Amino acid sequence: MTEHDPFQVDLMPSWFRPWFRDLAKPLQCILGIPLLVGCLWIMWTEIVQDGVTGDAQQPPPQKAIFISLFLFVASIIISELLRPKPKIQEAKPAGLGDFQFPTATEGRPVPLLWGRVRIKGANEIWHGDLAQTAITEKVKTGLFSSQRITKGWRYHLGIQFALCRGPGVVLVKVQIGDEEAFSGSVASGSRFDINKPQILGGDDFGAGGIQATVD
């Protein structure tokens, strides 16, 4: 059976430092400066009292604990008041030149198909009309403060392909990488929609997705 030391106590609850760190900077000043002054005043009065009574060399254990506690609180307050708030890096929008488009070669022949064929690297004949929409999120920067940041961007883009030619050509599937974005039977001149906003992981855990009107 171990013997318990009555003076072996935690000087400060574990939640104090993260709680004080999460406070907004003005609130840190409002609460921290008076508390810091109070701690310094109590330590000063104890030192003066010990000097008057002649007990400065052998302070009681309880008094030593309280002095250490006040010093610890004062050090936390000073370090947090002097620590700047971290700057949050926001996502920047990409321009048209940042995208990688499929093959776009002038004069490239349009394939003539028979049977079912998977077309890889279709010939892209035009792209443009780029527009960006910010994806924002509200994040906490302190106990009573928050900030709305831009965590990503949605891109709206027009693109034209010269896929193939042939008698009675029908589009039956669209794939993005290894993921299936559309499956059906669409003849030339028809229109269909692709609505897969999570196909590449979505806004939070990946590279977004795709929503498109194809005709």
Using the predicted structure, report yes or no on whether residue 118 has a pLDDT greater than 80: yes
Does residue 208 come out as left (phi exceeding 0), alpha (psi in the -120 to 50 range) or beta?
left
* Inter-residue contact 90 to 135 (CB < 8 Å): no
Distance CA 141, CA 23 (A): 8
Does the structure show a pLDDT above 70 at 17? Answer: no
pTM of the model: 0.56
pLDDT number for residue 28? 66
Mean pLDDT of 27-54: 65
**Cβ 69 vs Cβ 10: under 8 Å:** no
Q: Which residues pair with 196 in a beta bridge?
A: 210
| Residue with the larger pLDDT of the pair 135 and 67 | 135
Stretch 174-203: mean pLDDT: 86
- Answer yes or no: is pLDDT of 151 > 60: yes
Contact call for residues 181 and 174 (beta carbons, < 8 A): yes
| pLDDT: which is higher, 205 or 146 | 146
Residue 142 has pLDDT above 60, yes or no: no
Strands 179-187 and 170-176: antiparallel
**pLDDT at residue 62, rounded to an integer:** 61
Residue 7 pLDDT > 60: no
Q: Which has more pLDDT, 83 or 129? A: 129
Residue 2: pLDDT band by 50, 70, 90 thresholds? very low
Cα–Cα distance between 134 and 136 in angstroms, integer? 6
Of the candidates 8, 9, 7, 11, the one whose C-alpha atom is nearest the C-alpha of residue 72 is 11
Tokens of 166: 């042939």
